[in-house]
């Protein structure tokens, strides 16, 4: 069994690289069904942006100690439309997983 965690992320905007430093993150919650996690982002339930975060990642993680991340869905904030949009994982973050649990 796996769970889909919804985590918002903020990186230092003065840095040329997203990889470092991660300034802030917040795991807002989790869902048993991936579809429910996606819906929560699409509807911005709980204000995932909080006028602070520019990225959201949904991570489908297996249960257990050091559970494997099976799937990631990335979203970026659209400042013009005030909504989240699907986007590829930033290339600077390839190889980094489990933002939800650390």
Sequential pLDDT tens for the chain (102 residues): 899 999 999 987 776 665 556 788 999 999 999 999 999 999 999 999 999 999 999 999 999 999 999 999 999 999 999 999 999 998 888 888 999 997
pLDDT in the model for residue 91: 82
**Cβ-based neighbours of 93, under 8 Å, separated by 6 or more:** 18, 19
Q: Give the pLDDT score at 93.
A: 85
Element containing residue 47 per DSSP (H, E): none
pTM for the model: 0.91
Q: Is the peptide bond before 41 cis (omega within 30 degrees of 0)?
A: no
For 9, 13, 55, 59, the CA distances from 37, given in Å and listed in that order, are 16, 27, 15, 9
């Amino acid at each position: 069994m796996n769970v889909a965690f919804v985590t918002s992320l903020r990186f230092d905007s003065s840095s040329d690289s997203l990889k470092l430093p991660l300034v802030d993150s917040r795991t807002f919650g989790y869902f048993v069904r991936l579809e429910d996690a996606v819906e929560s982002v699409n509807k911005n339930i709980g204000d995932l942006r909080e006028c602070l975060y520019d990225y959201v990642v949904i991570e489908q993680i297996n249960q257990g100690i050091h559970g494997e991340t099976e799937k990631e869905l990335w979203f970026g904030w659209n400042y013009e439309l005030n909504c989240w949009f699907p986007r590829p994982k930033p290339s600077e973050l390839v190889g980094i997983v489990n933002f939800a649990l650390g």
